Amino acid sequence: MILCVQIEKLGSQLSKLTQLMDKYQREEPSFADDALEWLEESEKAMSILRLPEGSEMSALRGRIMKAAHVSNIIEGHSTRKAQRQARDIVAAESLERAEAIMRGRLHSSEERLQFFEEKLCEGMTALMLQTPLPEKTLPNMERLKHVWELLRQEKSTRPLALYLAASLSPSDRSFILDRVLNRVYNEGLGQLPSSESIQ
């Protein structure tokens, strides 16, 4: 499971909801069909990410497709406008439910990644007390690889490196390492003196 990809994909999909709900407020005739399309896209995205919640998107699409028919049965006969309104209401409710599902997963992924990032910050502090980090001028991927090797080799940070390797995908490790390093270099801490030079 690649958390950084989950966060990017789910965030991108959720960003489209504002425009959809604007259509609902304006009572645009295409709203329900657009909601169905968004739910289908969301289901496919979650399927690619192997998230089990994606199956709920299919159920929500089914609710929308049945809405006008159910309205017709209950009222005996209803105008096309009434059927569309009923469908729009169910579509809006379905989008709210879908948003809650996706935001829950997004929040969980962000929290998990944040937890490991904080652990890595602690490890980076320990590492910098032992050895200086590579120059910022190195190409980014080369610098990430070099720092990761330092974390693996240094006695004080080796357990953390093993823990991160077992808990995260290589992509997520690189993602949080890049964020932590950018913070370190931006704060001018990349070349802290080693413990030997302090003594």
Give the 3-state secondary structure of the chain. CCHHHHHHHHHHHHCCHHHHHHHHHCCCCCHHHHHHHHHHHHHHHHHHCCCCCHHHHHHHHHHHHHHHHHHHHHHCCCCHHHHHHHHHHHHHHHHHHHHHHHHHHHHHHHHHHHHHHHHHHHHHHHHHCCCCCCCCCCCHHHHHHHHHHHHHHCCCCHHHHHHHHHHCCHHHHHHHHHHHHHHHHHCCCCCCCCHHHHC
More confident residue, 43 or 72: 43
Cβ distance 123 to 160 under 8 Å?
A: yes
**pLDDT value of position 185:** 83
pLDDT in tens, 160-186: 999 999 999 999 999 999 999 988 888
pTM of the model: 0.80
68: confidence class by pLDDT, cuts 50, 70, 90: low
User: Chain-wide mean pLDDT for the chain?
Assistant: 87
74: confidence class by pLDDT, cuts 50, 70, 90: very low
Task: Return the domain boundaries, the chain.
Answer: 3-112, 113-198
**pLDDT value of position 77:** 52
More confident residue, 103 or 84: 103
86: confidence class by pLDDT, cuts 50, 70, 90: confident
